[in-house]
A and B are shown apart, each in its own frame.
Chain A
């Protein structure tokens, strides 16, 4: 901080004051408002706060917050790390994160997909980590083909080392714009947004998975040096050494996130023997995957914001005897358009007890009816817990899958659990 010009120092201090005020008055965690005020005083603040540090930027449609957390944990092997762990992933949040850790030489920042090019340019980040791109809330998000193109161009203008998922064609194509790359075969469950060649539009040949290539222009999956083996719950490193993961976060999506984090850490010289134990310690990320026990029933919270996220959540559901609550809202952060519900295949829920709630539960009801999945309507998680408990006293678990504001509402009911 002492190396910052006076004006930037003032901006950072003012920003911190506003952040404390925001927290003290209970309006938020302070990440956004602090940065907003600081940026008004010094528009170049992000670039100035980045100077003299080594930054990694993390972006994707899904898994940004979790992977940022994993990488930051691994890099603490080197000393303090500045990071926006609350998920405030636009420049205001980045400024707050950097200003709050003036002595951290390392920084790991989660970056909103749209902001990646400008943040890369401002921060001159050393490392850019890219996991996946798929359809998100399109009344507010950008078209993903356009995003990939902008990523590719921004990487081409930078000297950043990219660590990217070779199995996601759009991400790989974007990553190929960089001068230095580490490719990770991290898998891709949701493929409906990448049947077309990012280069020429041809229909990709994707057999055998995870290989992909374009029969029209020859564009193909880069050779990966790291890979995930989901069946064996392990990661294989470039020396062909196999690392059993045994994470405390569920599912293939988190195995992919962990593989990417291990490959990123290795780019910093931190080998899996050092990084993996740090990843294994993480049990929940900003309330995601948290379990809350009430009346002897463990309620597990899963956040899923788009079709790819729902597909990953279905894959980590407990055995079929465990009921699941689905909750969907359509506020601005969720996207006001619920059309995406029709991109998700709900037939995997057949045979399971399903409850639907949230402001758009009628949309969910029609969607489930169409897939022949019986369901019950509910108003609150606690009502479902009481009902399940009354009918089967030996019930011990309920899973909840909710989109953004629905998730936050449920989390607030439990006192903003982490």
Chain B
């Protein structure tokens, strides 16, 4: 956690631009799973007119429509706070449009490449078809394995550079390209599982928490696990 306090700071970046699909869920589940283990938390909302604080623990970026996505990318690049935070080892979870803009480049509506924040070695462009529907993927074994489930709704296709590793292997749905889903590089994670990716995958929430607080006490199974199983059964 932050050197300066014993509070886990969850920083939600630009809810005014990047919050289209229930993205708030990721912040709420991180807070709940941390507090159930006696870890105090604070959720910080950073609007696009505000500077991004560098001293957060977990940074969350959500989905957005084409125009807000470009605005968000430009403001994040000009601000520099997210990059500084990632450089100092903060954990980052970026979904959908957020995933694309933390990469090296992403495509505008005419598929011209635009510069991203550059904290994840991926490049995104527009695919021929829109990927819409339930997705299931097998998480990389070095991240703990297991399956993740979510809903994807994007036109993007993402290619990984040498610095990034696939987060998971796609079982149903498209993800990056129909073969892999999402990417990670150090403590920076990106995924096309949009909106409430963490509520639907409690193990992913714990993976992010572990990056900042180390070992975690197990929690008794609850509705998050029940939903996870239900969606897996429905999609496979």
Closest to A337 in B: B151
B55-91: CB near A (< 8 Å → 1, else 0) gives 0000000000111100100000000000000000000
Q: Count chain A CB atoms within 10 A of each CB in B15, B17, B47, B153 and give the residue with the most.
A: B153
Interface residues of B in 11-50 (CB under 8 A from A): 15-17, 19-25, 28-29, 32, 47-49
Please report which residues of chain A, range 178-211, place their CB below 8 angstroms from some CB of chain B when the two chains form the complex: 192, 195-196, 201-203
Q: A146-B65, A366-B226 are in contact. Are A196 and B22 (CB under 8 A)?
A: no
Contact partners of B133 in chain A: CB under 8 A = 139, 336
B182 contacts chain A at the CB level, 8 A cutoff: no
User: Chain A residues near B66 (CB, 8 Å)?
Assistant: 143, 146
**Nearest residue in A to B150 (C-beta to C-beta)?**
A339
Q: When the two chains form their complex, are residues B223 and A339 in contact, meaning their CB atoms are under 8 A apart?
A: no
Whether A366 and B227, one on each chain, are in contact in the complex, defined by CB atoms closer than 8 angstroms, is yes
B115 within 8 A of A: no
Residue of B nearest to A371 (CB): B28
- Specify the chain A residue showing the minimal Cβ separation from B197: A339
Q: Residues of A within 8 Å of B, CB-based: how many?
A: 29
CA distance A411 to B122 in the complex (A): 49
A118 close to B (CB within 8 Å): no
- Which residues of chain B are near A138, meaning CB under 8 Å? 20-21, 153
Q: Is B71 a contact of A196 with CB atoms below 8 Å?
A: yes
Contacts of A388 in B (CB 8 A): none
User: In the complex, are the beta carbons of B24 and A343 less than 8 A apart?
Assistant: yes
Select which of B16, B23, B132 is within 8 A of A196 by beta carbon: B16
What's the least CB distance linking A113 to chain B, in Å?
Answer: 15
Asked if A145 is at the interface of the complex by the 8 Å CB criterion, the answer is yes
Q: Which residue of A lies closest to B133 (CB)?
A: A336
List the A side residues contacting B223 at CB < 8 Å.
Answer: 362, 365-366, 369
CB distance from B227 to the nearest CB of A (A): 5
By size class, the interface of chain B is 35 or more
Any B CB within 8 A of the CB of A414: no
Known: A146-B65, A337-B153, A365-B226. A370 touches B22 (CB 8 A): no
- Decide if B222 is an interface residue (CB 8 Å cutoff): yes
* Cβ contact within 8 Å between A363 and B22: no
Neighbouring A residues of B67 by C-beta, 8 Å: 145, 201
Question: For residue B224, which residue of chain A has the nearest CB?
Answer: A366
User: How far apart are B32's CB and chain A's nearest CB, in angstroms?
Assistant: 6
Chain B, residues 116-136, CB within 8 Å of chain A (1/0): the string is: 000000000000000011100
> For chain B, what secondary structure do more than half of its interface residues adopt (helix, strand, loop), or is it mixed?
mixed
A139 touches B153 (CB 8 A): yes
Give the docked Cα–Cα distance between A139 and B132 (Å). 7
Q: Known contacts A203-B16, A339-B195, A362-B226; is A145 also within 8 Å of B21 by CB?
A: no
Query: A371–B199 Cα gap in the complex (Å)?
Result: 12
Residue pair A340, B132 in contact (C-beta under 8 Å): no
User: Bound state CA distance, A135 and B25, in angstroms?
Assistant: 16
Chain A 356-368, CB within 8 Å of chain B: the 1/0 string?
A: 0000001101110
When the two chains form their complex, are residues B48 and A203 in contact, meaning their CB atoms are under 8 A apart?
yes
Given contacts A339-B22, A342-B196, A145 and B151 within 8 Å (CB-CB): no
Determine if A341 is an interface residue (Cβ-Cβ < 8 Å).
yes
**Chain A CB within 8 A of B194 CB:** yes
A339 contacts across to B, CB distance below 8 A: 21-22, 25, 151, 194-196
Contacts of B151 in A (CB 8 A): 139, 336-339
Shortest CB distance B86–A (Å): 24
Q: Is B230 located at the chain interface by the 8 A CB criterion?
A: yes
**A38–B48 CA distance with the chains assembled, in angstroms:** 50
Which residues of B158-196 have CB atoms within 8 Å of chain A's CB atoms? 194-196
- In the bound assembly, the distance between CA atoms of A341 and B22 in angstroms comes to 7
A385 to chain B, nearest CB (A): 25
Contacts of A145 in B (CB 8 A): 65, 67-68
Given known contacts A201-B68, A203-B16, A342-B25, is B227 in contact with A363 (CB within 8 Å)? yes
What 1/0 mask marks residues of chain A from 326 to 345 whose CB sits below 8 Å from any chain B CB?
Answer: 00000000001111111100
Given the complex of chains A and B, what is the CA–CA distance between A197 and B23 in angstroms?
Answer: 21
Task: Tell which of A146, A201, A362 touches B227, judged by Cβ atoms closer than 8 Å.
Answer: A362
Q: How far is the CA of A371 from the CA of B24 in the complex (A)?
A: 12
Residue from A203, A343, A365, A366 whose CB has the most chain B CB atoms within 10 Å: A366
| 25 pairs, A vs B, C-beta closer than 8 Å | A138-B20, A145-B65, A146-B65, A192-B15, A192-B19, A196-B16, A196-B17, A201-B67, A201-B68, A202-B49, A203-B49, A336-B134, A337-B21, A339-B196, A341-B22, A342-B22, A342-B28, A362-B223, A362-B227, A365-B223, A365-B226, A365-B227, A366-B226, A370-B29, A370-B32
On A, residues with C-beta under 8 Å from B are: 135, 138-139, 143-146, 192, 195-196, 201-203, 336-343, 362-363, 365-367, 369-371
4 interchain residue pairs of minimum CB distance? A342-B22, A339-B195, A342-B25, A195-B16
For the complex with contacts A201-B71, A366-B199, A370-B199, 19 further pairs of A-B residues with Cβ separation under 8 Å are A138-B21, A144-B65, A145-B65, A192-B19, A202-B49, A203-B48, A203-B49, A337-B21, A339-B21, A339-B22, A339-B196, A342-B22, A342-B24, A342-B28, A343-B19, A366-B227, A367-B25, A367-B199, A370-B25
